[in-house]
C-alpha cells in the first residue's frame, strides 16, 4: 500500500483522477471481496425523459455505436 500512496502523491491531480477511475473500473470488473455479484437495476428510470419509442431508441443506439 505504501508504494501506491507514494506513486499517487507524485501524480498531478488530473492523473490521480484517471488512476482512481481506473481503480473503480477494476473493482467493478473483479468485484469486491464478499460482495455478491449480479445484476443491478441502477439504470432503471434513467431514460424517463427520453421521448423515443423503444424501437427508435434501439435505432439511435445502433447509430451511436458507429
The one-digit pLDDT tens for each residue of the chain (66 residues) are 789 899 989 999 999 999 999 989 998 888 766 666 677 888 888 878 878 888 998 998 999 887
Predicted pLDDT at 16: 92
- For the chain, what is the domain count? 1
11 within domain boundaries: yes
* Rounded-to-integer distance, Cα 12 and Cα 9, Å: 8
Predicted pLDDT at 36: 65
Structural domain boundaries, residue 28 = 1-34
CA dihedral over 11, 21, 18, 47, signed as positive or negative: negative
Predicted pLDDT at 40: 80
46 within domain boundaries: no
Q: Provide CB contacts within 8 A for 51, sequence distance 6+.
A: none
15 within domain boundaries: yes
Predicted pLDDT at 54: 86
Predicted pLDDT at 38: 72
13 within domain boundaries: yes
Q: Mark residue 34 as left, alpha or beta (left: phi above 0; alpha: psi -120 to 50; beta: remaining).
A: left
Amino acid at each position: 500500500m505504501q508504494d501506491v500512496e507514494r506513486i499517487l502523491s507524485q501524480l498531478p491531480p488530473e492523473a490521480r483522477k484517471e488512476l482512481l477511475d481506473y481503480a473503480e473500473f477494476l473493482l467493478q470488473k473483479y468485484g469486491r471481496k464478499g460482495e455478491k455479484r449480479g445484476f443491478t437495476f441502477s439504470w432503471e428510470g434513467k431514460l424517463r425523459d427520453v421521448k423515443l419509442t423503444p424501437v427508435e431508441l434501439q435505432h439511435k443506439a445502433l447509430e451511436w455505436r458507429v
